[in-house]
């Protein structure tokens, strides 16, 4: 099945070139979910490093700033990434479906997010080991139990979330551009 059928309208009632397909909607959902998560981490860094709030917990506050919530959120984002990846046909046809740049960006994002979830698995183990203590180091964080403590946890996770989001945004832009300007459901004369 071509990218057009996955990323543009497949229902007869919709105009050719519409963006209402499940793959498109899943991609929008993952961008919205991770976009909010990134804003949450930016807010946390601003609170802690610029506003001098020692326990700055972002927009949602301390209710959401606990390790089990982070683990579930990141695992959910990984699931949404994987679903979108396969709905776009990338598990079968790879770069042929979406072009090499978008394929490479989405493959990198998926692999990186899998690593990010692994980081949270380590943090969950440490969370239980240290008596339900938040702020554990995970793999590279400078917190209790950090395996190779290289970075302050708020900055590290801001970086993780940016790296797990920005390539997906760029891939989305490339897919929309390819569909709109290269004859994949839109007017290629634009």
Q: Say how far apart CA 127 and CA 66 lie, in whole Å.
A: 9
Nearest CA among 25, 32, 20 for reference residue 83: 25
Per-chain mean pLDDT for the chain? 84
Residue 72 clears pLDDT 70, i.e. is over it: yes
Give me the residue spans of the domains in the chain. 3-10+18-181
Say what the pLDDT of residue 12 is. 47
Which secondary structure element, helix H or strand E, spans residue 119, and what is its range? helix 100-129
Tell me: the pLDDT tens digits for 151-189?
A: 999 999 999 999 999 999 999 999 888 764 343 333 333
* Cα separations in angstroms, 187 against 16, 23, 179, 183: 10, 21, 9, 6
Say what the pLDDT of residue 89 is. 86
Neighbour-count burial for 69-78, b at 16+ CB within 10 Å, e otherwise? ebbebbbebb
Task: Measure the CA angle with vertex 131, ends 130 and 137; round to 5°.
Answer: 35
Is the distance from CB of 93 to CB of 155 less than 8 angstroms? no
Contacts 24+ apart (CB under 8 A), 12-19: 16/185, 17/179, 17/180, 17/185, 17/186, 19/176
Please compute the mean of the pLDDT values over residues 48-65 and round it to a whole number: 88
Please compute the mean of the pLDDT values over residues 90-111 and round it to a whole number: 89
């Amino acid at each position: 099945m071509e990218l057009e059928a996955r990323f543009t309208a497949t229902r007869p009632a919709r105009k050719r070139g519409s963006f209402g397909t499940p793959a498109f909607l899943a991609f929008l959902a993952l961008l919205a979910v991770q976009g909010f998560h990134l804003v949450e981490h930016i807010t946390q860094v601003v609170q802690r490093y610029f506003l001098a709030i020692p326990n700055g917990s972002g927009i949602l506050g301390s209710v959401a700033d606990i390790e089990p919530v982070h683990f579930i959120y990141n695992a959910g984002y990984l699931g949404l990434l994987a679903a979108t990846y396969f709905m776009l046909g990338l598990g079968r046809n790879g770069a042929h479906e979406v072009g090499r740049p978008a394929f490479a960006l989405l493959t990198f994002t998926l692999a990186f997010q899998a690593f990010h979830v692994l980081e949270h698995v380590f943090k969950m183990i440490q969370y239980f080991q240290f008596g339900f203590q938040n702020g554990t180091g995970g793999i590279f964080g400078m917190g209790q139990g950090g395996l190779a403590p290289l970075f302050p946890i708020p900055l590290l996770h801001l970086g993780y979330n940016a790296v797990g989001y920005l390539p997906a945004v760029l891939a989305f832009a490339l897919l929309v551009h390819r569909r709109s300007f290269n004859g994949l459901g839109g007017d290629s004369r634009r």
